[in-house]
Amino acid sequence: MKIGFIGLGHMAGSILKAISRHREYDFYVNDHHEDRLAKYKEELGERFAISSYEEILSFCPYVFLGVKPTDMGSLLESIRPYVGSNVLISMAAGYSLKEILEKTRESTKVIRIMPNTPVAVNKGVSFAVYQNVCPIEKKRFLKMMSLTGALYEIKEEDIDTVSVLTGSTPAYLDYFLDALIQFGVSKGFSELEAREYVLKMAEGVIALDKASSKSPIELGKEVCSPGGSTIEGVDLLERNGFREMVKEAAEASYNKTKKMK
């Protein structure tokens, strides 16, 4: 099957990378970064074709729109003459199904998705809402996205919340993990050693949280012996409003998403 990509930023590129592991799919792509196109062309060879908007929408039943929200309106106006029975897949935060239909036509088939960066390694968490998409088209889309990780169908009014809950927060977690790695380096470990220890720790914590019926905060409290070293650090985090700061960061990301266009 031929899959189109218009715009190949980090998120769209992560999805392409995941889907390309299945040789059933070939790709027709348009992006203004020539070096980025050359990299994928080298990796995928004949399965990757650099194409015009018209070619992509002529050949590809599914077309991912991977441009920034600020560029979405002009892109939709540019491709409108070529959109037919294609399913357009938008990952633009803040750009609603209604707005996409207004820029194209009421009958346009649209899937609005909110993925996160771990899609590149088949560990993504993505969300989708559908408009004018038939059951067979949806089934083919789900098969394609199964190569990226988990996919959940939600109501569109919830998509801004999940875009923060699973889309923005990998960055928060990476900043936290990096701080721990840098602490390890400051105490004499190499960057490579500290990174391995911290990431192994994080893998184990997530595995334990998934396996347990207890909440993360309950499991965290179990590590904190009275008068011990762990509670000393946790008390400092609590005094500095760590959890409230995380919630405020999520709220800031959420408010920004609401304003994005």
Segment 157-169, tens digit of pLDDT: 999 999 999 999 9
Two structure tokens written together for 254: 């959420």
Query: What is the distance, to the nearest Å, from the Cα of residue 89 to the centroid of all Cα atoms in its chain?
Result: 13
* SS3 per residue for 179-231: HHHHHHHHCCCCHHHHHHHHHHHHHHHHHHHHHCCCCHHHHHHHHCCCCCHHH
Residue-level pLDDT at 112: 97
pLDDT band for position 94 (cuts 50, 70, 90): confident
Q: Which residues pair with 151 in a beta bridge?
A: 126
Rounded Cα distance between 29 and 8, Å, is: 8
Among candidate residues 151, 143, 154, 159, the one with its CA nearest the CA of residue 3: 143
Angle, CA 46 vertex, CA 41 and CA 48 arms, to 5°: 45
pLDDT given at position 93: 86
Contact 176, 129 (CB under 8 A): no
Cross-strand pairs, 29:
5, 50
Domains of the chain: 2-154 (3.40.50.720), 163-259 (1.10.3730.10)
pLDDT digits (tens, 9 = 90+) for 6-54: 999 889 999 999 999 999 999 999 999 988 899 999 999 999 999 999 9
pTM of the model: 0.89
Query: If you average pLDDT over residues 96-123, what whole number do you get?
Result: 95
